Each structure stands twice: as C-alpha cells, then as structure tokens.
Structure 1
Amino acid sequence: MKAAFALRPLAAVLALGLTTTTATAAPPHVPMQTRELGEAMAMLRHAISVPTVKGNHQVPALAAYFADKFKEGGFAADDIQIIPVGETAAMAVRYRGTGHGKPIYLSGHMDVVAAKRADWTRDPFTLIQENGYLYGRGTADMKTAAVVLVETLIRLKREGFTPSRDIVLLLSGDEETDMATTRELAKRYHDAEFLLNADAGGGTLDPASGKPVVYQIQAAEKTYADFRITLTSPGGHSSEPTADNAIYRLAKVIDRVGGYAFPPMINDITRASLHATGAHTPGPLGEAMTRYAAHPDDAAAAATISADPAYVGQIRTTCVATMLDGGHALNALPQSASVNVNCRIFPGTSVASVRDTLTKVIDDPSASITVLPPPPVESPASPLRPDVIAAVTDTVHARFPGVEIAPGMSAGASDSMYFRNAGVPSYGVDAAFTKPDDTFAHGLNEKLPASEVGAGLEFWHRVLMQLTK
C-alpha cells in the first residue's frame, strides 16, 4: 500500500478541525450588486433550459452561449476556447493576469444527469422558483455553480481587476458519464499552482434549525473502478439441468462479495472531517465518528459508521453489485453470466490490490475478473495549502462567523481526480450551504436554496480577489 498523503505541516494543526484565521489581510468586502444577481439568474434560466444530457448534443450549444457572454463581458475571443469531444465539448476561458506565478484553475461541468418530465412535479428543464428554492435539473449539480463562476469572472473584468496570475476556467462536458472532456482538459491544462473545483466540498446546514454546521474543503476523493466478474459453462437444453449452471455459480459469487467488508481506514483528512462532523451529529452516529477519529481501531465505532450508507464510504473501500447479465435464451442453459461490481477505493489503496481482494473473496478459479474502461485514475490527496484555507475561511466567516472549516474526502468522483493525477493540487470549494439530502442532485425534483446564487457570487468574488491580488 502506498503512502496516501503528503500533507504540509499546517495539516497537523488543522487535523483536529480546521478553524483558522486568515494569514494575510483580506481585501475589502464588496457587496454583491443587483446587476450581477440579475445577470446570473437570467443566465441560469437559459442554462437550465438547455438539456445537456448525454446523447442530446447540447453541451456545445451551452458552451457557445457562455462564450458569447464572455465576449460581451470584454474577454478576447482568443482567450475563449471550445473543445469538441464527440457529441459533447469542453470549454476553457483565460482571464489574463500580470504573470506572477502559475495560473489558478477553476473547475466545473456543463452536463447534467437525465431527467424525465413525466417523473417530475415540475418541468426539469425550466427554472422555477418556489418556496425559497430553485427547481430544475442542474440547479444543485451544477449549472448554478457554473453560471456563478462565469458571472464572477465577468464582474471582475467589468471592475477592471487585474489578477496577479492567470485565472483559467475549465468546464467539462461529460463529467456525469464518460469524463472524456475532463481527460482532454487535463492533457492540455496541467501547469497550475492549484485548482478550485466548484463541484465538491461546501457547507452543511442543520436539518432542523437551518443553521450552518460545518464547511468542508474537499482535498481527496476515492478512486472509481468497475470490475466485471464473469462465469461461463457449456450451456445446453433447459430440460437437462446440470450443476454447472453459470447463473447459480454467479449467485454464490455475488453473495460472497455482498458479505465482505473492506477493512476500516483513516487518514489526516478523514480524521479531521469525522471529528468536525461528529461534533455536530446527534446520537450514536456522532459519538461513533468522534470515537473513530480518536481511535480508528475502535471496531464498534467503525461498525456504527459503516451501518450508515452516507458515511460508510468515509472509512472503507466499498464494492457493490450494480448490474447483471446472464443467459442467451429462455429455453437454454446459460453459457455465461456476469455482474458489474462498482468500487469506490480509499485513497492510497491500489486498484490492483482491490482486484486481488475480490479474487480471494470470490474464491472461484473459474471466474474471470476484468477492469472495465476507461482505466481507473488513482487520485492522490492534495496537500492542505494555507493560502487556500485562509481565503476560504475568511470568505465563509464573512457570511457565517465562526463556522467550523474542515477538510473532507468525497466518496464519489469528480473532475478533480484527473488534475490531481496530473500533479495539480485540487480543492473542492462549492460555495453553497445546504441541508443533508435536501437537494436531490441526480434525483427527482432537484433543487437548491435560492439564497445560494447571491451567496455564490459573493463567495467566488472574495476568494478570487484574495488569492490573486
């Protein structure tokens, strides 16, 4: 097992809960103007109406729309690039600075998960404001954040701000599916000081009171890998059953995989995250988080955390069966049967070692295990940079004084993994504060508190001013 992290000395201070003050004087707080909010809402209304679902060929249209907005905002055409990739596209926009240091990348994506109108209460591709929420596919994941990034750069240009270094906005076009545009962007853009990803991290509100609880900076994410397990047999007539039935044998394999739990793990980032989250989580779950952060060998605490689907991924590699395929005719014995096992692998654990573990768990030499393309990307954790932490802390505290700031690890995957793999430290810093399980991202009736558009404009303006002054 490789060493998972190479954290800077500041991490030792932050590991007990990142509550910090800014290391340098912050720029003046600039109230968000009505003009910027109006422009952002109009842009978001249009962005939601463009169904950038895989196969719809609409991502290039949204990219062209954003390009027009940048040109209207004073950006040179040469600094705006739309990169076709199959039926989708990526986008890169450079805000030129004075050249003191490497660029800063800003990351997001333009595509969304599919949504069927018949299943939704409201039209998923019409922005609707109701009861303090914005409804529509992409409001939470993540057209609102993409629009806020676009509007913030236009605002800074309008204000005549010249950053000390280039700021490069990178918007992918298939983050929810193949990530081909992300791989293309990472090939072209990998010489940055660091990357800020608006598609990860963010603030949590208490479900009952609505008060802010904690803000997490995503500094690590798990490796995504799909394994196909296949068993074969000669087949034959269904009237002549045999013990060598591929489907029956596969059923036993699936039971073994389902019954196995990878060992609990911890690192500096998850330790701090569990410590901070546990302090604000009531009942046995919160107590278990606090105990596990202090004593990761506490088996009872690990079991309590693992019993919660939302948190098991924070302490273990997880592998779960997601798709089945078997047989070729209703009246024939199956010649093959296979299952897809989707794994989210803890940082520092290799894909090869997980495959080896599955081979042992399956305990069937006749089973073949293959890793499905694209090749998994083993994403190293990013060192906790004092300048990023200071800027984010100052900005969050300008809105919610004293709220705890902690590092976090995503159980899922984001565009950041390709940039981390290319050597660019990456940090998830979504501006929004939301209640747990309240946005329904990827689900029905996706929504976001309407307050987070204006809050996002304030957040990104302040963060970028501080990091590039």
Structure 2
Amino acid sequence: MKRLMLAITAALIPVAASAATPEDEAYARALIEKAVSFKSTAKHGETPKMAAWLAGEFRKAGFKKEDVEIVPAGKSVGLIVRYRGDQSAGKAPVVFLGHMDAVEADPADWTTDPFKLVEKDGVFYGRGLVDNKYGVIDLTQTFVRLKKEGFTPTRDLVIAFSGDEETEMATTRALAEKLKDAAFALNSDAGGGSEGVDGKPTVYYIQAAEKTYATFELTIRNSGGHSSQPRADNAIYELASALKKIEAHQFPVMWNDITLRSFEASAANADEKTAEALRRFVNKPGDKKAVKTLSGATHYNAVMRTTCVATMLKGGHAENALPQAATATVNCRIFPGVSVDDVKAELARVAGDPKIEFATLGEPVESPASVLTPEIESAVIAAVRTRYPDASAVPYMEAGGTDGLHFRRAGVPTFAVGSLVLRETDEPNYHGMNETLRVDAFYAGLDHWTRIIKALASPAAP
C-alpha cells in the first residue's frame, strides 16, 4: 500500500488550470442562489423545473441541443450533458455525478426561508446547499467555464444529475443504464476534505465503496386473545426475544484494500490505544486483539463488518387484548461482496424462531467496491494539493448510500471526490434545519473540478 502511494505521489500531473475570476465567482453565486430557490423535494416536486433551467444554462454556454438531455424516470427527471472530446486519448468517457433533489424542509423549523439563499456572518443558509446543490452548480460552472475557454477534452466528459437520490433513485438507475459504457464516474456527493479550526487541512477523503442498504421486517403472528388470560406464545415477547439475540450478534470481521488504507491513515490522528489497534489490524487483518479494541468504537466497528440494528417496532391492536402480531424493522448496512440474501438468512438463524416471517423491503442495491487506480488518484491528489500542499488523501467506504451504488452495480467504477472542505467547527446540518455552507468554502472549491478534468482529459494527461 505504501509503495502504491509513493508511486502515485511521484506521478502527480502538473496540468495548468486557470483560477476562477471574479466574473466566474459571480456566476457561481448566481447559480447557487437560483438552485436553492427550487423546491426540489419529493413533496414539492420542482426538480423537473430545476433540470429545465440547468439545461438552458448549458445550451446558452454553447452545448448543442443533442448533447443536453432531460431523462424522465419514476416521479422525477435526470439530466445528461455531454462535453464532446476529440477522442485523441482513445479512452471511454468520464461521468460526473450530482443530484438536484433535496430532502424536505419545514420553514417553521428554520431561522431563514429554506428555499431562499441567505448570506449571514460569512455563512450561506439554504436547503440542499451541501447535499448536493453545491456539487451540482460547481460541476455546472466548471463545464461552462471550460466551454468559454475553448477547452477541448481528449475524451468525452458527461454530467449525470439525478432527480430523486433522496428517495427512490429511479432517475439514478436510468442514468446508470444509459451511461454504463463509461470508464469511471466521479461523484460530487461525498468525499471531500476536512480542516482544523485553524484552517489547516487534516485529510482529503476519496469514497471508493459503499455498504449495501437493506431493510427487513420481522413479524410474528398468532390468534391473540383476551389480556386477562395470558398465553405462553405472546407475539411481542417472542419478537423481543429474537431482537435481543440479533442485538448480541456480531457479523464476521471483513476488510478490503480500501478499509485497510483507511485504517492505516486514521492511525496518525487516533489516540494511542486506537492507533495501535489500527496498525495491528493493517499488518495482520482480523487480528483478535485489534478487533476487540476497534469493535468498541462505533465508527471502526461499522467499517469492519456488516451491521444490523432494530429501528422501528409496532404490535398489538388494543390495550386489553393479546397481540395478534408484532413487527420489527431491522436496518442493515452490508459489507461489499456480501449478498442481501445471505444476511437475511443469518438473521433468521440468529433469531432462532421459525415462526418469524422475514420480508425484505424494497430492492436493495448490491454494488462492489471500486478499485482506485493511479490515473484517478493522482488526478485527485494533484487537484487537492494545489489548494493544500500538505494534505493526505485517504480512500474510505461509505456507510450510507449515494447514486454511486447504481453506477457501480452497472459496472462503472465510481469514486466520490467532492470539492468541499469542511472545518471541524462547521455545522452543515444537511437533512436537518438551517443547512449551511461557509462562504469561503463555497468559493474555494470552484477550481476543483477544472483541475481534475484537465488532469484526466487534456493533451498533457497520460
């Protein structure tokens, strides 16, 4: 692993990229203000309006009509924009991901109007700023800037903005199917950097894998009866007994190159006991002493194995009646390479009650981990170190889920390399009230994608 990092560092690509001008910054500011104004949530349904507006911005910048496509799917739409290259690189396209939709926001809970960009005390307020409208407008202004410069890439570059990442991901599936011939995808919706309160960078994260999100319902039924005559097979008690067994169960320890590299890098900033355990695990994956220590930390435990946890309960129909049914919802985050069916079978075995009915909710998306190549990693590191010369880059596995799940499933290696660098004291509150983004962080990321693109698709690129 260390040899790979040294090789990549030595191969950093010094590709010139013009810095954002005041005019570029003003354009980006106007874009984010307009983007926040769209109520692109499942309830309000304005994502198609946002997609139409963005399509217009690309066409005004000189993109041909046939290269800007709105893709209807499910209850929303996606957007594809193709920046045609001269194909001199002889390489498949690179896809750039973002999502136009945002989670709901109740104006009564906010100190500002969630759908109006407000700047106060060096901070922007607005729903979707961090998740993921900044990523969308950052990629948009990058394509527009490069077009104005007259830049011709050596391979096709393709934007793919989904419209329902926060809900059913129907547009994501449609986009992934249309673009499955891509060499790889770079996602704006995760990854990114962190810095200390002094503004100095600590680390830049590259997301290269995501756990499978799967939810099961466990139900026990019987004929019930009157509460004055309790019976031995009470559905609530039996379900509770099964849940306690699931609570006590730990799935097998697992690892891949991504998690090992993440552990290796994390050791540098961990306390002495944790750092020792991380290094032991890296040197001897599965080391029992290391596993015992790391299992006690929720973050590292989640990285080492599949996890399942009860999240919801319902049961009974009257206070004076024995329950005829009891149901628990169990949410699992499954390590890449492990099937949903295998986890379901293991839960049934652990519960140990054949009367329990197991139902899988929805259609879980299983996707493999992506292999981070020197071509991609060197381009990202070069872009990051232009801003932060001493920053280290660390691949990691996401416990949550993004559009990348569907692209990986379609056979497109996907890496999240967002442009935002958040400070330890930041409170972005995405998905919560008063979502925020520091104004200086907003402007600092405007050259990020330009640098990556020129490292991957300019004549100087390998």
Counterpart of 1:381 in structure 2 is 369
Counterpart of 2:61 in structure 1 is 73
**C-alpha displacement at 1:302, in angstroms?**
2.9
**Residue type matched to 2:423 in 1?**
K
Q: Deviations over 1:372-414 (max 9, x none)?
A: 212x222111122111111111111111102111211111111
Counterpart of 2:27 in structure 1 is 39
Determine if the alignment matches structure 1 residue 51 to structure 2 residue 42. no
Counterpart of 1:350 in structure 2 is 339
**Residue type matched to 2:172 in 1?**
T
User: Alignment partner for residue 340 of structure 1, among 320, 329, 333?
Assistant: 329
User: Alignment partner for residue 467 of structure 1, among 438, 446, 456?
Assistant: 456
Q: Contact 1:279/1:290 (CA < 8 Å) preserved in 2?
A: no
Q: Contact 1:326/1:336 (CA < 8 Å) preserved in 2?
A: yes
Greater displacement, 293-302 / 78-87: 293-302
Q: Deviations over 1:418-445 (max 9, x none)?
A: 1111111111101111135742222232
**C-alpha displacement at 1:216, in angstroms?**
1.7
**C-alpha displacement at 1:289, in angstroms?**
2.9
User: Alignment partner for residue 166 of structure 2, among 162, 165, 176?
Assistant: 176
Map of 1:242-253 to 2, 5 A cutoff?
Answer: 242-253=231-242
Matches of 1:289 and 1:448 in 2, distance apart? 33
Determine if the alignment matches structure 1 residue 62 to structure 2 residue 50. yes
Map of 1:404-443 to 2, 5 A cutoff?
Answer: 404-435=392-423, 438-443=427-432
**C-alpha displacement at 1:40, in angstroms?**
1.0
In structure 2, the residue corresponding to 1:434 is in which secondary structure?
strand
- Pick closer, same or farther for the CA change 1:159–1:404 going to 2, 3 Å: same
Counterpart of 1:6 in structure 2 is none
In structure 1, the residue corresponding to 2:317 is in which secondary structure?
coil
**C-alpha displacement at 1:243, in angstroms?**
2.2
Matches of 2:221 and 2:249 in 1, distance apart? 23
Determine if the alignment matches structure 1 residue 291 to structure 2 residue 280. yes
Counterpart of 1:3 in structure 2 is none
Counterpart of 2:186 in structure 1 is 196
Counterpart of 1:314 in structure 2 is 303
User: Alignment partner for residue 326 of structure 1, among 309, 315, 323?
Assistant: 315
In structure 1, the residue corresponding to 2:115 is in which secondary structure?
coil
Determine if the alignment matches structure 1 residue 144 to structure 2 residue 143. no
User: Alignment partner for residue 93 of structure 2, among 65, 78, 103?
Assistant: 103
In structure 2, the residue corresponding to 1:340 is in which secondary structure?
strand
**C-alpha displacement at 1:71, in angstroms?**
1.4
Matches of 2:386 and 2:232 in 1, distance apart? 68
**C-alpha displacement at 1:131, in angstroms?**
3.3
Counterpart of 1:264 in structure 2 is 253
Map of 1:21-40 to 2, 5 A cutoff?
Answer: 21=9, 23=11, 25-40=13-28
User: Alignment partner for residue 278 of structure 1, among 243, 258, 267?
Assistant: 267
Gaps of 5+ in 1: 1-10
**Residue type matched to 1:293 in 2?**
V
- Pick closer, same or farther for the CA change 1:301–1:24 going to 2, 3 Å: closer
Matches of 2:153 and 2:173 in 1, distance apart? 27
Matches of 2:431 and 2:397 in 1, distance apart? 20
Determine if the alignment matches structure 1 residue 402 to structure 2 residue 365. no
In structure 1, the residue corresponding to 2:134 is in which secondary structure?
helix
Q: Deviations over 1:333-362 (max 9, x none)?
A: 222211111111111222222112111211
Gaps of 5+ in 2: none
**C-alpha displacement at 1:282, in angstroms?**
3.9
Matches of 2:288 and 2:195 in 1, distance apart? 29
Greater displacement, 29-38 / 437-446: 437-446
Matches of 1:127 and 1:326 in 2, distance apart? 44
**Residue type matched to 2:101 in 1?**
D
Map of 1:221-236 to 2, 5 A cutoff?
Answer: 221-236=210-225
Q: Contact 1:431/1:452 (CA < 8 Å) preserved in 2?
A: no
Counterpart of 2:145 in structure 1 is 155
In structure 2, the residue corresponding to 1:462 is in which secondary structure?
helix
In structure 1, the residue corresponding to 2:82 is in which secondary structure?
strand
Determine if the alignment matches structure 1 residue 166 to structure 2 residue 156. yes
In structure 2, the residue corresponding to 1:169 is in which secondary structure?
strand
**C-alpha displacement at 1:25, in angstroms?**
4.3
Q: Contact 2:186/2:416 (CA < 8 Å) preserved in 1?
A: yes
Counterpart of 1:86 in structure 2 is 74
Matches of 2:128 and 2:387 in 1, distance apart? 24
Q: Deviations over 1:166-190 (max 9, x none)?
A: 1110011111121111111112210
Matches of 2:194 and 2:312 in 1, distance apart? 33
**Residue type matched to 2:402 in 1?**
S
Q: Contact 2:13/2:382 (CA < 8 Å) preserved in 1?
A: no
Matches of 1:367 and 1:217 in 2, distance apart? 41
In structure 2, the residue corresponding to 1:140 is in which secondary structure?
helix
**Residue type matched to 2:100 in 1?**
M
Identity of aligned residues (%): 45
Q: Deviations over 1:107-158 (max 9, x none)?
A: 1111112222222233322222233332222111111111100110011111
The CA RMSD over aligned residues, in Å, is 2.0
Q: Deviations over 1:268-316 (max 9, x none)?
A: 1111111112212345444433333333334443344333334432112
Greater displacement, 243-252 / 55-64: 243-252
Q: Contact 1:225/1:371 (CA < 8 Å) preserved in 2?
A: yes
In structure 2, the residue corresponding to 1:457 is in which secondary structure?
coil
In structure 2, the residue corresponding to 1:339 is in which secondary structure?
strand
Matches of 1:302 and 1:311 in 2, distance apart? 9
Greater displacement, 401-410 / 25-34: 25-34
Determine if the alignment matches structure 1 residue 218 to structure 2 residue 181. no
**C-alpha displacement at 1:22, in angstroms?**
5.7
Matches of 1:368 and 1:150 in 2, distance apart? 48
Q: Contact 2:74/2:171 (CA < 8 Å) preserved in 1?
A: no
Structure 2 length as normaliser, TM-score?
0.93
**C-alpha displacement at 1:91, in angstroms?**
1.0
**Residue type matched to 1:264 in 2?**
V
Matches of 1:115 and 1:299 in 2, distance apart? 45
Greater displacement, 231-240 / 379-388: 231-240
In structure 2, the residue corresponding to 1:272 is in which secondary structure?
helix
Q: Contact 2:210/2:399 (CA < 8 Å) preserved in 1?
A: yes
Greater displacement, 448-457 / 298-307: 298-307
